[in-house]
Structure formats: C-alpha cells, structure tokens
Structure 1
Amino acid sequence: MPLLVFSLMLVVFGLTTGEFVIAGILPDVARDLSVSIPSAGLLVSAYALGMIVGGPLITTLTARLPRRPLIAGLVVTSIAGNGASALAPTYPILLAARFAAGLVVATFFAVAIATAVSTAPPGRQASTVARLTLGMNLGMIAGTPLGTVIGQNLGWRATFAAIAAFSAAALVPVLRSVPDRPAPSVGSLLGELRVFTRRDVVLAIVLTAAGNLGVVTAFSFLAPLAVDVSGFSAGAVPVLLLVYGAGAVIGNFLGGWLADKALMPSLAGLLAVLAGVLAMGWPASGHQAPAGVLWFVLGVLAFAVIPGMQTRVMTTAQAAPTLAVAVNASGFQLAAAFAGWLGGRLIDGPGPRSIYPVAAVLTVAGLLIALYSLRRDRRPAATPAPKEPAAHH
C-alpha cells in the first residue's frame, strides 16, 4: 500500500474510532452523566449533525486551500473536539464537543478519497477507496473494542483522550507523505453547486442515506441490543464489536471488488441481502450464538456497500467530486443522526428488539432507490429522430 494511502488510512482509523466508539460506552456515559440511554444516543446524532453541517460548508470554504495544510488543520480540529469530549463536565457540553468533533470529518474523508483516487489506475477506483476505508474497518475491529475496554476500565473520558492522542500521532506520517501541492483548480461556487442539479448525483447521495439508515440504527444501539435482548454481559460488548469489525474488513474488500465488476447490480444485491439479514434479527437475537453470527454478517454487509456508494457518487459528479463526496458523507451522517433519535424512540416504545424489523424496512427503501438508479443506467440513450428526406423538384 502506498505511504500516502497508508497515512491517510491511519487518520481514518482515528476518526472512525471517535465516531463509533460511543456504541460501546453508551451505557457508561449515560450512567456517569445521569441521563437515559435514549438521551445518550443523541450523542451519536450530535456527531452526525456536525458532519452534516460541516461537510458541504467546510469543503466549500476550504476548496482553494493547499492539500497538506488543509488536511493538517482538519485533523487538529478533530483532536480538539475529542479532547473537549474527554473534559466535558456536563451532558450539554459533551453534546457540543461531539458536534465540534464531527464538523471536519466529512471534509477530511472527501479530500482523502479524492487524493487517493487521483493516484489509482483506471478501473481500480473502488478498490482504492476500499484500501483507504480499511482504516474504517480497523477502527471497528480494533479501535472501537479497544476504546470500549478503556472506557469500561478507566472511564469513558479516557476513551476520548486516547483517540485524541492517537490522532495527534497520526499527523506525523500525514505531514510527511501528503504532497505539498496547491489546491486543485475549482470553478465558481455556483458552478460547483450546479453538480447537485443532476438527478443521478442526488439519487446517489439519497441512496447512501437510505441504504445505511437501517444498519446504522442497529449498530448505534449494539450495547443495549446485546445486553438487554441477547443476554450478553457488558464485558462481551467489546467482543461483539470485534466480531462486527472482522466482518467489516471482509465486507470492505468484497464490496470494492464487486463494485469494480458491476457497480449498481452489486449494490442492489447487497442491499437486498442486508434487508433480509436485519429481518432475521428479530428471531436470531433471542439466543447468543445466532446473535453473534448476526453481528458478523451485518458487519460484512454494512461495509460491503460503502465502496460502491462512494464510487457511484464520484462517477456521477465528475465536475465536483470532492464536494459531492463530502455531501455524500453528510448524507450518511444524516442517516446516523436520525438513527440515534429513532433507536431511542423504539427502545422507549415497543422495546429494543423492534429495531431489527424497522431497520429491515428502512433498508428496503434504499434497495428501491438502487433498483431505480440501475433502471436509469440501463435505459437506452435517446437517439435523434431520422431526418425527413428532402423533397425533390
């Protein structure tokens, strides 16, 4: 793996751990700050809202900055947000800190993906995205369980402090490997935004939000689902996160390979299987062994769709790919923000087990969008009507 991709992957690891570790320490945060589990779930929403707001805004404002100082500035802001999370004395301040930490993440992902893909050989864009997003997988398979163990033994504040420290260390290889080039030439702001008038671009972003909403809702409440529904002990939660992350590594490379072969058909197929597996969560979650298998398979499928979704956005938004990928990341986080709220309502209402069938129905919505996009792709291009023969005199 090129050093450039590796160094960016390390930062993605830190950012992903910072985003997802809340799933493992949610009960600890709720207990320490004397708030309910649904209220603590809004910390997921706060981080996601930061990404939603920051994605298009910060990407647009920084479009003309050179890449190296831009990436460094984004990472430093994330470090500050995680550091503030570790020190937050009250729940409202922690909400604000999570929002601040999320502000720069979508822009970093967009710049990192665009930088990595610019070095990829033709026909290997999705595989290159998969290599970069290996950092997301490692954040799941190693960072999130480790952060959960740290939180359970040293307190949840130590988790956020450790994430800030790792991100600071990851800055060193980034500054050495990212070339000090000027920003890519961009047009006017209006010209950049015009890419969102294209239906295929909008559909690709909506596909990301709808296709991920179900599985993100389930993952955000993994701890209460595992403990309250499947009967695992709190100490087993890091193991389940590890199982989920192991599936994510496999799914990431599987998804990149499938997307290079057949982008939209593979996305539609994966979403169909994901909906079916989430539906199986209702009967499977009542027993520990099937529940463990369920979380592994969900990890595979949740990450198998990501390389294809990112590539779809970049191929439909060639005029402004960085901005489009940032907005797409915001679309994913819009799903995460809604998931934090929705899961809390389901736990307060019919109970945590109901998350599985609701998540399956939401994933079907993403499948329908994928099938519609596939149909649009296969529509024959309109051919001009034949000219009438000239009249002879």
Structure 2
Amino acid sequence: MIILLMLSIGLIGANSLVLSPIAAEVALGLGASGPADVMTAAALYGAGVAISALLLAPRADRIGPHKALVQALVLLLAGLGLSTFAPTLLVLTAGQALAGIAVGMALPAIYSLAAIIAEPGKEARTIGFVLTGWTVSMVGGVTLSAYIADFFGWRAVFATLALGLLAIFAVLRATTFPAHTPAANPTSPISGLRVRGILPALFSVAALGTGFYGIYNYLGAHLTEHLSRPVSDAGWLTLSYGLGFGAAMLFDPWLDRAGPRRGLLAVFSALAAYYTLMSGWAHDYTALIALMFGWGVLQHLGLNLTVSRLSMLDPGQRGAVMGLNSCVMYLSVFGATVLFRPLYEMDGLTLCILASAGLAVLGASEALIARLKAKRTLEPSL
C-alpha cells in the first residue's frame, strides 16, 4: 500500500514540477512570448489545487480517502489529456487548472491514507516513505521529461504522465485499504480552521512552500536565459535534488523522536543558511548541481515535519486539515510565481534565493516561539 501511495505522489508530483524545466519548449511550441508566460499555467495549476483542497478535500472524511483518491485521478487524467493536445496556451492553462482541481483532492487523500496505515510511533517514517514519491517525480519524472521534451516534444511529456497515471488508477481501484469510519460531524474548511494549533502549522507550510517554489519555478528560465544552457540540462539539477530528497529518508527516524516543532526549528534554520550559500553560486551551473542535493535533503525533512505536524492535530478531521495543508502549499505555488517574478526580472535567481532565505528565517522564528510556548504550558511538541 505504501509503495502504491508513493508512486501516486510520484506521478502527481511530476505534473506539478515538470512545467518549469520545459517552459522554453512549451513557449516555442505554442507561440508564447517567453518561458515566464508559460509559468502562468503553473500559477493557475497551483490556484486550482488550493481552491479544490479547500472545498473538496473534506469529502475524504465522508466518503473515505481511498474513494476520494480514485475520483480525483479521473479528473487528473482529463486535465493531462487536455494539456497533451492543447492548441494554445489558454487551453494548456485550462488543462493545468483542471489538473490542479484533481490534485487538490488527491494529495490530502494520499496523506490521510498514509497516516491511517502507519504503525503507532512510526508516523514520520511512513509519511517520509510516501513523500519519496516526490523523488520519483524528480528523478524518474522531471529528469526524464526534460529529455523527452528535447527529443519528442513537450506534448509527449504530458502523454507519458497520462499513461503512467492510468496504470496507477487501475491498480488503486483494485486495492483494499483499511475500512473508513465516516466523521461523526460534517467537516469543512471552517471546522478545520478551528482545530487547535492549525494556524501556526499552516504558517510553516506557507514559509516552506513559498521559499521552494519561488526558486524552483524560475529555475528553468534561469538556466536558459542566464546560463545559456539547453532544456535537457535542467535534468541534472532535478536529478541531484531528487536524489537528496530521497536520501533524506535516512533521517526520518530522528523526526519521530525530535517532534515537529523542534525539528522545524532545526530545518528552517539550516535552510536559511543554505539559501544564503546558494545565492552566491546561482550563476555557476556545476555548483548548482551539487547544491541541489543538499536542498533536496532539507526540503524532504521540512515537508515531512509539516505534514506530520498537521496529521497529528485532529484525526477525526484529517481530510479537512490535510486539505488546508494542500491549499496553503499550492497557494504558495501561485504566490511564489507572482511575487517572485519581479525579483527574477530584477536580478535573476539570486534575489529569489535570498527572498527564500528570509522566509526560512520566519519559519524558524515561528517554530522557536511555538516551542517556547509549549514548554511554558507543558503542551505536546506538535
């Protein structure tokens, strides 16, 4: 079951991450003025995820996360089909928006299923294994897609993702997960926002997500416009990041012992220092490849901790809570694309990286304040 959830994350993640490295190819194929225009589709994808996660994810508390995931994958297949055959940038954007709506249902359902099947005391390890699906998306999806776009065209990228997703869909429908007990009371975004500790936890999600996408969404454009590299060279960057993300699984047992607040304080502090280091090497392609590995390690740990923190808050409203997680994370996709664009146009990727360092400082500050408050009140360190 865990492997199936991991592969689901891999295919979903590949679609959400693939547009940046192939943006130049898509722009050329659809007659857009440049890669930055194509990233509008990524922004609306993120907005679609956010809205769907807010409004549709609570369905998992009523019908069960397994059924919710199957329904979401049907919508995602439709969005990928539309993206594959899009004749214009507008149609591609519509296809990605539909895909975003599907992912807004799918990701909370996957995270909920991971928490349900996890053994007590091993939640972080189980969630960490499922999250390595993002490594699959990076190493096997995004990296390969850069080469597919170079040799077969960008449409083949979305077609390949659709075929892989169709296979996962068929297996998921035939798989039996633990029986679902419907929530005693109807859940909603409002009920989720009333859960104790939800707002600080969502702030951590926003700081982590905006910092990541503010850099990643402009990495492909930086590569072609500032480093004069071909699209396929983005594959080495995502490969290095993905390997680091996967290697971080070795630290997941420590996360179960440390607890989310203590762990997030360490990870956000490390990210702030690491981003500062990265900013000085943004124009060195070889150095960026090496630095992407460490970035992947830190992002895995941060993502695991934020998801674990939220999943522990209220098991009875896990669908609504994880929907809020995905809503905030993918609002970060939209917000980072829009807010970091002036920074990118002003000084390329360097200024984007420094802005992400500032967000990491805010994340560390929240974790420190929450940890000190928990010590004073003797609350669990969530």
Counterpart of 2:34 in structure 1 is 36
C-alpha contact 2:23 2:39 (8 A) present in aligned 1: yes
- Counterpart of 1:335, as a letter, is S
Change (3 A) 1:373 1:281: same
1:68 is displaced (CA, Å) by 4.2
Higher Cα Rg, which structure: 1
Structure 1 position 5 matched with structure 2 position 2: yes
CA–CA separation in structure 2 for the residues paired with 1:324 and 1:13? 22
Counterpart of 1:243 in structure 2 is 240
Farther off after superposition, 27-36 or 89-98: 27-36
- Counterpart of 2:25, as a letter, is D
Change (3 A) 1:89 1:361: same
Farther off after superposition, 332-341 or 107-116: 107-116
Counterpart of 2:254 in structure 1 is 258
Counterpart of 2:75 in structure 1 is 77
**Aligned partner (choices 281, 284, 300) of residue 284 of structure 1:** 281
**Deviations for 1:177-219, whole angstroms, at most 9, x for unmatched residues?**
23384x4221333687334124511111121011221122111
Change (3 A) 1:192 1:335: closer
1:59 is displaced (CA, Å) by 1.8
Farther off after superposition, 121-130 or 57-66: 57-66
CA–CA separation in structure 1 for the residues paired with 2:68 and 2:225? 44
Counterpart of 1:175 in structure 2 is 173
- 1:115-130 mapped onto 2 (5 Å cutoff): 115-130=113-128
1:73 is displaced (CA, Å) by 1.5
Counterpart of 2:358 in structure 1 is 361
C-alpha contact 1:211 1:367 (8 A) present in aligned 2: no
CA-based RMSD of the aligned residues comes to: 2.1
1:329 is displaced (CA, Å) by 1.2
1:271 is displaced (CA, Å) by 0.9
**Deviations for 1:7-61, whole angstroms, at most 9, x for unmatched residues?**
2222211101111011211111122222332222222211111110001211234
Counterpart of 1:162 in structure 2 is 160
**Aligned partner (choices 139, 142, 149) of residue 141 of structure 1:** 139
- Counterpart of 2:254, as a letter, is L
- Counterpart of 2:285, as a letter, is Q
Counterpart of 2:96 in structure 1 is 98
1:114 is displaced (CA, Å) by 1.8
Structure 1 position 299 matched with structure 2 position 296: yes
Counterpart of 2:310 in structure 1 is 313
Change (3 A) 1:361 1:165: same
1:245 is displaced (CA, Å) by 0.8
CA–CA separation in structure 1 for the residues paired with 2:94 and 2:288? 34
Percent identity at matched positions?
Answer: 21
What SS does structure 1 have at the residue aligned with 2:62? Answer: coil
Farther off after superposition, 114-123 or 262-271: 114-123
- Counterpart of 1:109, as a letter, is L
What SS does structure 1 have at the residue aligned with 2:377? Answer: coil
Counterpart of 1:152 in structure 2 is 150
C-alpha contact 1:82 1:160 (8 A) present in aligned 2: yes
Change (3 A) 1:140 1:215: same
Counterpart of 1:385 in structure 2 is none
Structure 1 position 328 matched with structure 2 position 325: yes
TM-score, normalised to structure 1, is 0.90
1:348 is displaced (CA, Å) by 2.4
- Counterpart of 1:171, as a letter, is F
Counterpart of 2:201 in structure 1 is 204
What SS does structure 2 have at the residue aligned with 1:122? Answer: coil
Farther off after superposition, 240-249 or 189-198: 189-198
Q: What is the aligned length?
A: 377
C-alpha contact 2:280 2:350 (8 A) present in aligned 1: no
Structure 1 position 373 matched with structure 2 position 370: yes
Farther off after superposition, 224-233 or 77-86: 224-233
1:224 is displaced (CA, Å) by 2.4
What SS does structure 2 have at the residue aligned with 1:24? Answer: coil
1:349 is displaced (CA, Å) by 2.5
